[in-house]
Chains A and B, each alone.
Chain A
């Protein structure tokens, strides 16, 4: 038996348990969404039926009425059990419908996976490198089981969000907490088992196509080992330490609040004398009105607002990134907040790309003739530039000045070649510029100290070197030039 036989069952269990878990959390948050106890078998059975039907019988030519009848099979009993009241019926019916639809998606995906030709094209069996084909989907960046991963993690994200909200509200205690944990474990384990089984199913399809000799006991051993892994995973998520982060949402919010809240000093209350009754005198004292915030307050408010905007933008961009990853080629169908998030993410990406391109263009736009490569400088993009970090002012000061000197000298025919050291270039300058020996010596000595000594120049030293360099630059500008170099 191939893995396909088990997969609709796993899909049904996962769908039903995950949806039921979500519904339970919602019912804790919103009392009107309380679930009737008899609904669970309906959700599970509808999911199982839908998954198996889609995996084995559903085709493009299946009449629509059959699908309606199939759905009615589950909704009519629910309507009857709900006492024929529409308000009671709607929420359980919606859950059952969603469960039925999600399970149908699993089943249809299993059918799609069987169409090997879509994946492998007209490749000869002997050339099928199934070991790698099994991993990739049509696009190289996506996993072959991307559909399963997306759904699984989508459910996971929803469940985690709801669970976090519920636990933070303190609505879950005692046996209910244990029950919810159990349900979450069942949902997670069945989801991972579904994922593992789906991968085995994909492999089995490829193996049959590539005519691989598969060990007959592989399926059983696969599920046995998968069970061991799931046990390990369950133990990990239940026993691993949590809540050890020193930076939490509360601390961040507190910091932000403290940062942007204006400080108001409240007057010290007089301590009541023991034995005396409460005095009303303190109440008569006027509490000082907060001072007018003025321009500073306005600036703070604007900064707070901008920070908030930035935070929301980042949040939306992250959401947009997730939406893009989950929906892939269906972006045009998005509406509302997801569409906004995607657009923000795309805009940020474009902006980042433009900035990077501009930076790159800046480097490239320096003409080769003019762009002076200083000996000892690292090649562009070639690793870190420690000097830039250690001497932030140097780039703007001495080193930039040397670049300008070299560029100016190059214009006059005295090029600073890549094979030369700054000292050698300085010696050349000394030879060419009349009465500038001391100036050149002073500048290049300073440059060497700044560039290679490993410590920063003092303010006065730097000023002297910069002054010497500026003077040198002016002399080069007035220099008539040397065509021989």
Chain B
């Protein structure tokens, strides 16, 4: 390249001395190609605008998605080729490797580029940094730019039906029908009945009234909401090394499945875990990344489910806070809850003893052992017992 530049300068000198349009034409051409064009390419490339279609994306394992990027050329300089290389984590790459799209970009032109994604495993991933290469038409120079844009992809943990985790499909948690019929639950319609004097007007079921040509009122179930709290153990020391990855993932899947099951039934569910959040987890004021403690109060609704699944997507095991510490530090969150669901690798005697203390306080404790069950006697207790142990195995096989 240097030699060509020197040649260009020699041609300029020759043109200045010799005069004449032919000599000047050659000098202009060489100056244009070896000095001006690379400079303009770099300056124009710096002005390229790359925008991502979204900042965050939420997927379930197995989902496919397209990440779209908009590349805009606000200048009058045409780019011979533009190559976009997005850094996509291998767990999200569809196919053998990430594609590298190449296209041309004319003056003031905008192009949309898409990258296919395949969510393989739960996690919080960061797409980017993006690398943008641009080149000229004559193979003289190439420039590389790195726009700061990034995108977070949250792959939720797998949610399985409870039988697939070898759990009974009607677990005894959630709202319980109240024996004392004092407070009707307006979210649970039990049926309609003819209007009686004194019934509030807002309970009138107008469609049924129209159909029967007589006033009908809604009849609600009388329930008492029982809040659930899932306590997830992700202390590294509690898991066997040989089955660490499988067991921890099963624990997360179990917690997610339980949360989905509870919230889909219209109940409130919270979460406490001795885990760290992924470094790419979007900043939230109530959750910190590296304390080793994640606590979310029990709430109802799909928004809560979404929040729980997002957190469970990003949790990672940690090695300095065990489950008993979690129990101790989550008192504030656990106290008002009626049913505690502990997702642990093994139902150790210490855990069972701790569960006994909660039972004595009137709370119900359900222990889900994802690796091994030690207290088999607690597996076979009646369904409404205050302390039960469940053996979780993915695929529905019962553990020995």
Residues of A within 8 A of B1 (CB): 141, 143
Interface assignment of A296: CB less than 8 Å from any CB of chain B: no
Residues of A within 8 A of B21 (CB): 167, 237-238, 242
Cβ 8 A contact of A145, one of B10, B83, B138: B138
Contact (Cβ within 8 A) B137 A226:
yes
Cβ 8 A contact of B7, one of A221, A237, A325: A325
Query: What residue in chain A is nearest B115 (Cβ atoms)?
Result: A213
Contact (Cβ within 8 A) B20 A164:
yes
Contact (Cβ within 8 A) B22 A164:
yes
Q: State the CA gap A259–B243 with chains docked (Å).
A: 95
Interface assignment of B179: CB less than 8 Å from any CB of chain A: no
Contacting A at CB under 8 A, from B136-181, are 137-142, 144
Cβ 8 A contact of B104, one of A141, A215, A248: A215
Cβ 8 A contact of B29, one of A213, A226, A233, A252: A233
Interface assignment of A156: CB less than 8 Å from any CB of chain B: yes
Contact (Cβ within 8 A) B23 A160:
yes
Interface assignment of B19: CB less than 8 Å from any CB of chain A: yes
Cβ 8 A contact of A163, one of B11, B22, B29, B140: B22
Q: Which of A184, A221, A249 has the most CB of B within 10 A?
A: A221
Contact (Cβ within 8 A) A222 B23:
no
Q: Which of A141, A144, A228, A242 has the most CB of B within 10 A?
A: A242
Contact (Cβ within 8 A) A167 B83:
no
Contact (Cβ within 8 A) A225 B18:
no
Contact (Cβ within 8 A) A225 B23:
no
Contacting A at CB under 8 A, from B239-256, are none
Q: State the CA gap A188–B4 with chains docked (Å).
A: 18
Residues of A within 8 A of B99 (CB): 212-213
Residues of B within 8 A of A215 (CB): 101-104
Query: What residue in chain B is nearest A237 (Cβ atoms)?
Result: B25
Contact (Cβ within 8 A) A199 B138:
yes
Query: What residue in chain A is nearest B144 (Cβ atoms)?
Result: A131
Cβ 8 A contact of B23, one of A164, A203, A217, A224: A164
Residues of A within 8 A of B3 (CB): 141, 325
Interface assignment of B206: CB less than 8 Å from any CB of chain A: no
Interface assignment of B69: CB less than 8 Å from any CB of chain A: no
Residues of B within 8 A of A195 (CB): 138-139
Contact (Cβ within 8 A) B102 A213:
yes
Produce 1/0 per residue, B22-45, CB < 8 A to A. 111110111010000000000000
Contact (Cβ within 8 A) B101 A164:
no
Q: State the CA gap A145–B135 with chains docked (Å).
A: 14
Interface assignment of B6: CB less than 8 Å from any CB of chain A: yes
Contact (Cβ within 8 A) A225 B80:
yes
Q: Which of A224, A233, A243 has the most CB of B within 10 A?
A: A243
Interface assignment of B100: CB less than 8 Å from any CB of chain A: yes
Instruction: Decide yes or no: A143 and B4 within 8 Å by CB, A135-B141, A236-B28 being known contacts.
Output: yes
Interface assignment of B97: CB less than 8 Å from any CB of chain A: yes
Residues of B within 8 A of A237 (CB): 21, 24-25, 28-29
Query: How big is chain B's contact interface, by range?
Result: 35 or more
Instruction: Decide yes or no: A143 and B139 within 8 Å by CB, A212-B101, A322-B10 being known contacts.
Output: yes
Instruction: Decide yes or no: A134 and B24 within 8 Å by CB, A222-B104, A225-B80 being known contacts.
Output: no
Produce 1/0 per residue, A229-243, CB < 8 A to B. 100010011101011
Query: What residue in chain A is nearest B134 (Cβ atoms)?
Result: A131
Contact (Cβ within 8 A) A141 B2:
yes
Interface assignment of A53: CB less than 8 Å from any CB of chain B: no
Interface assignment of B106: CB less than 8 Å from any CB of chain A: yes
Produce 1/0 per residue, A365-392, CB < 8 A to B. 0000000000000000000000000000
Report how many A-B pairs have Cβ atoms within 8 Å: 150
Contact (Cβ within 8 A) B83 A212:
yes
Contact (Cβ within 8 A) B97 A322:
no
Instruction: Decide yes or no: A233 and B32 within 8 Å by CB, A131-B135, A225-B78, A225-B106 being known contacts.
Output: yes
Quote the shortest CB–CB distance from B399 to chain A (angstroms).
Answer: 42
Contact (Cβ within 8 A) A247 B17:
yes
Cβ 8 A contact of B20, one of A131, A212, A229, A242: A242
Interface assignment of A214: CB less than 8 Å from any CB of chain B: yes
Contact (Cβ within 8 A) A145 B104:
no
Contact (Cβ within 8 A) B103 A218:
yes
Interface assignment of A396: CB less than 8 Å from any CB of chain B: no
Query: What residue in chain A is nearest B133 (Cβ atoms)?
Result: A131
Interface assignment of A64: CB less than 8 Å from any CB of chain B: no
Contact (Cβ within 8 A) B102 A218:
yes
Interface assignment of A132: CB less than 8 Å from any CB of chain B: yes
Interface assignment of A74: CB less than 8 Å from any CB of chain B: no
Contact (Cβ within 8 A) A245 B19:
yes
Interface assignment of A425: CB less than 8 Å from any CB of chain B: no
Q: State the CA gap A192–B29 with chains docked (Å).
A: 10
Interface assignment of A207: CB less than 8 Å from any CB of chain B: yes
Query: What residue in chain A is nearest B20 (Cβ atoms)?
Result: A164
Instruction: Decide yes or no: A213 and B81 within 8 Å by CB, A143-B4, A143-B139, A156-B26 being known contacts.
Output: no
Interface assignment of B324: CB less than 8 Å from any CB of chain A: no
Interface assignment of A446: CB less than 8 Å from any CB of chain B: no
Instruction: Decide yes or no: A157 and B26 within 8 Å by CB, A199-B139, A202-B139, A203-B81 being known contacts.
Output: yes
Interface assignment of B381: CB less than 8 Å from any CB of chain A: no
Interface assignment of A29: CB less than 8 Å from any CB of chain B: no
Q: State the CA gap A215–B11 with chains docked (Å).
A: 38
Cβ 8 A contact of B6, one of A184, A224, A321: A321
Contacting B at CB under 8 A, from A230-278, are 233, 236-238, 240, 242-243, 245, 247-249, 252
Contact (Cβ within 8 A) A196 B16:
no
Contacting A at CB under 8 A, from B160-219, are none
Cβ 8 A contact of A243, one of B19, B80, B97: B19
Cβ 8 A contact of B25, one of A135, A145, A160, A252: A160
Cβ 8 A contact of B80, one of A168, A222, A233, A321: A222
Interface assignment of A93: CB less than 8 Å from any CB of chain B: no
Q: State the CA gap A224–B21 with chains docked (Å).
A: 28
Query: What residue in chain A is nearest B13 (Cβ atoms)?
Result: A318
Contact (Cβ within 8 A) B25 A131:
no
Contact (Cβ within 8 A) B102 A207:
yes
Query: What residue in chain B is nearest A125 (Cβ atoms)?
Result: B97
Residues of B within 8 A of A145 (CB): 138-139
Contact (Cβ within 8 A) A196 B138:
yes
Instruction: Decide yes or no: A134 and B2 within 8 Å by CB, A221-B106, A240-B24 being known contacts.
Output: no
Quote the shortest CB–CB distance from B242 to chain A (angstroms).
Answer: 33
Residues of B within 8 A of A89 (CB): none
Query: What residue in chain A is nearest B2 (Cβ atoms)?
Result: A141
Query: What residue in chain A is nearest B12 (Cβ atoms)?
Result: A245
Query: What residue in chain B is nearest A167 (Cβ atoms)?
Result: B20
Interface assignment of A398: CB less than 8 Å from any CB of chain B: no
- Closest 6 CB pairs between A and B? A163-B22, A215-B103, A237-B25, A245-B16, A199-B139, A131-B133
Binding site for A on B (CB under 8 A): 1-4, 6-7, 10-11, 15-26, 28-30, 32, 78, 80-81, 83, 97, 99-104, 106, 133, 135, 137-142, 144
**9 CB-based A-B contacts, threshold 8 Å:** A145-B139, A212-B100, A224-B106, A228-B78, A245-B16, A247-B17, A248-B16, A248-B19, A249-B18
Extra pairs beyond A217-B104, A242-B24 (13, CB < 8 Å):
A131-B144, A132-B142, A159-B22, A163-B22, A164-B22, A164-B23, A188-B29, A218-B102, A238-B25, A245-B16, A247-B17, A248-B17, A322-B10
